[in-house]
Amino acid sequence: MLTRLLVFAFAVVIAGCATRPVSNVEATPVPIDRIIDGKFLQQTADAGIVTVKRDSGFGGSACSSRVFVNAKPVADLRTSEKVIIYLPAGEYVFSAWPNGICSGGMSEVHATVKSGAELSFRIGYGSGGYFTINATAF
């Protein structure tokens, strides 16, 4: 009985672990084998630059997170990874979905991309275990 209680307590503690943001410099590029649609990674002169990165930390580390632009899958990110997306100016919805057994449903954020401007978003888990994608200054 004590063993079960300890296992349960450990699971609760682990589930409550928040992730930590990483800077654009700290984050490593997603490996090519987890890029789903490379057309978003082609730089053009008038494109806006959008960096989507995954937090570091234990929360959700067992699973990758799929990144979408306007419902089109781009890449699967693991902890401390990033994908740099080049988009023409316009309105976009950036989405993230945890793959595998990790908790959380799809999270989305709306953004306006401007030519030559840079935006950054982070994917992570809050202290309550909720999965999010948010704009970030980190």
- Give the per-residue SS3 of the chain: CHHHHHHHHHHHHHHCCCCECCCCCCCEECCHHHECCHHHHCCCCCCEEEEEEECECCCCCCCCEEEEECCEEEEEECCCEEEEEEECCEEEEEEEEECCCCCCCCEEEEEEECCCCEEEEEEEECCCCCEEEEECCC
Average pLDDT of span 25-49: 96
Predicted local confidence at residue 63, as pLDDT? 82
Statement: residue 113 has pLDDT above 60: yes
Domain positions in the chain are: 2-135
Q: What is the pTM of this model?
A: 0.83
8 falls in which pLDDT band (50, 70, 90)?
very low
Predicted local confidence at residue 138, as pLDDT? 86
For the stretch 66-98, pLDDT in tens is 999 999 999 999 999 999 999 999 999 999 999
For the stretch 41-66, pLDDT in tens is 999 999 999 999 998 875 555 688 99
Selected from 3.90.1150.10, 2.40.30.20, 2.60.40.1120, 2.40.160.20, the CATH number assigned to the domain covering 2-135 reads: 2.60.40.1120
Tell me the Ramachandran region of residue 40: left when phi exceeds 0, alpha when psi lies from -120 to 50, beta otherwise.
alpha
Predicted local confidence at residue 58, as pLDDT? 58
